[in-house]
Amino acid sequence: MTSIIQPGGTIGILGGGQLGRMLALAARRMGYRVHVLAPGRDNPAGQVAEMAIDAEYLPKLVETFARGVDVVTFEFENVPAEAVEAAAASAPVHPSPEVLRTTQDRGREKAFLRLGGMPVVDFDEADTAEGCRAAVEALGAPAVIKSRGFGYDGKGQAVAHSADEAEAAWQAVGGGPVVVEQWLDLAMEVSVVAARSADGEFVHYGVLENVHESHILDLTVAEAPLSPARVREALEIAHAVGDGLKIVGTYCVEFFVTGDDRLLVNEIAPRPHNSGHLTIEAAATSQFEQQLRAVCGLPLGATDWHAPAAMANLLGDLWADGTPAWDQALAVPGVTLHLYGKREPRYGRKMGHLTAVGGDRKEAARRALEARRRLVGHVVS
């Protein structure tokens, strides 16, 4: 059993992005102190932390950082595993370094899923251009080439429409170890955001529907319009993933739903997830408070929905013609604005999100999209 870290304790967060920011806000509300370590000044998480350290994730530095906190967690999985292992020498770390090692490498992650009997897309691994071509020939074209590490929001991915394109696709994702996946006819993409305690307590927010644009999450709607059988299957898999990895904290399992109604695991995120942001307004306990409760050894919170909800991402593209007119978006009933404190809006960069609640899922989605549309149509210089 994890020892309880009471309010007033200090939470150490590795990573300075928006997930760390929202975790820090939840922690500060509950009376915890927050220290953040991440390279770069004035990052989103550091802006709301009690202490922000501008440093690279070097093992010695991270070990020293961990001595000054009661527990360490991370807000994205691209923190070097060696640094997280160094932190574990000085403080509890949740999720564990072993979880991080598995989930930050697509090959190890898929091997874990396959060994556990969980459904995944047909895939092969390759380290060379020749191996990549052989994998495409074996799986059939088109095929998706993904770097084994450091991929998110479509980064580190390319499509080979024939075996002749395999080498170019391999080079496009970095020319190193890759996973080659069979092309799928998709009906939908969904996710299960869940939390697990050290004692194995498991809670979830149901199955969420996700819509992507250019490989970046664009819209999430609770809950996904799946058959009861597919919902049960998704929840059982998410539970099995948490138990299999012994995750302590909030995590997300992303799924593909194929045109012939098969459910396949896409990826595991061992931390709060973009698709779970709507839990802040719409659920009894947000995904970020669940993370905090889990890593501090507190009971997990209820996951009941207050109302049907949807979330729309706000990318830097919205600033192309000037500052968006936030008053126009906030005039839509049931809409809440979250901005992440990033100073420079860039194309494809996540700058914030809108959450909308409504009488049903369709109304919530309509409100979220309408509010975002108003930002495009009305700008101030």
Per the domain annotation, does 369 fall within a domain? yes
Q: Are residues 70 and 136 in the same domain?
A: no
Residue pLDDT, tens place only, 23-65: 999 999 999 999 999 999 899 999 999 999 999 999 999 999 9
Domain count for the chain: 3
Q: Are residues 314 and 208 in the same domain?
A: yes
Q: Are residues 151 and 247 in the same domain?
A: no
Q: Which long-range contacts (CB under 8 A, 24 or more apart) does 98-103 make?
A: 98/245, 98/246, 99/245, 99/246, 99/247, 99/270, 100/74, 100/270, 102/245, 102/268, 103/77, 103/245, 103/268, 103/269, 103/270
Per the domain annotation, does 1 fall within a domain? no
The pLDDT assigned to 375 comes to: 95
Last residue of a domain, one of 182, 205, 225: 182
CATH number at residue 129: 3.30.1490.20
The pLDDT assigned to 376 comes to: 85
| Burial 339-360, CB ≥16 within 10 A → b, else e | ebebeebeeebbbbbbbbbbee
Partners of 157 in beta bridges: 146
Last residue of a domain, one of 161, 182, 203: 182
Per the domain annotation, does 218 fall within a domain? yes
CATH number at residue 299: 3.30.470.20
Per the domain annotation, does 253 fall within a domain? yes
Residue numbers of the chain with a pLDDT score lower than 70? 1-2, 150-154, 377-381
Domain encompassing residue 54 = 10-93
Per the domain annotation, does 334 fall within a domain? yes
Q: Are 309 and 359 in contact (CB under 8 A)?
A: no
Q: Are residues 133 and 165 in the same domain?
A: yes
Q: Are residues 223 and 365 in the same domain?
A: yes
Q: Are residues 208 and 357 in the same domain?
A: yes
The pLDDT assigned to 280 comes to: 98
Q: Which amino acid is at 274?
A: N
Give the residue from 242, 303, 239 showing the smallest Cα distance to 270: 242
Q: Are 296 and 249 in contact (CB under 8 A)?
A: no
Q: Are residues 193 and 174 in the same domain?
A: no
Q: Are residues 347 and 224 in the same domain?
A: yes
Q: Which amino acid is at 191?
A: S
The pLDDT assigned to 153 comes to: 61
CATH number at residue 39: 3.40.50.20
Residue pLDDT, tens place only, 64-97: 999 999 999 999 888 998 999 999 999 999 999 9
Model pTM above 0.75: yes
Q: Are residues 60 and 87 in the same domain?
A: yes
Last residue of a domain, one of 72, 93, 114: 93
Q: Are residues 52 and 143 in the same domain?
A: no
Per the domain annotation, does 2 fall within a domain? no
Largest Cα separation within the chain, whole Å, is 59
Q: Are residues 275 and 308 in the same domain?
A: yes
Q: Are residues 192 and 172 in the same domain?
A: no
Per the domain annotation, does 294 fall within a domain? yes
Per the domain annotation, does 116 fall within a domain? no
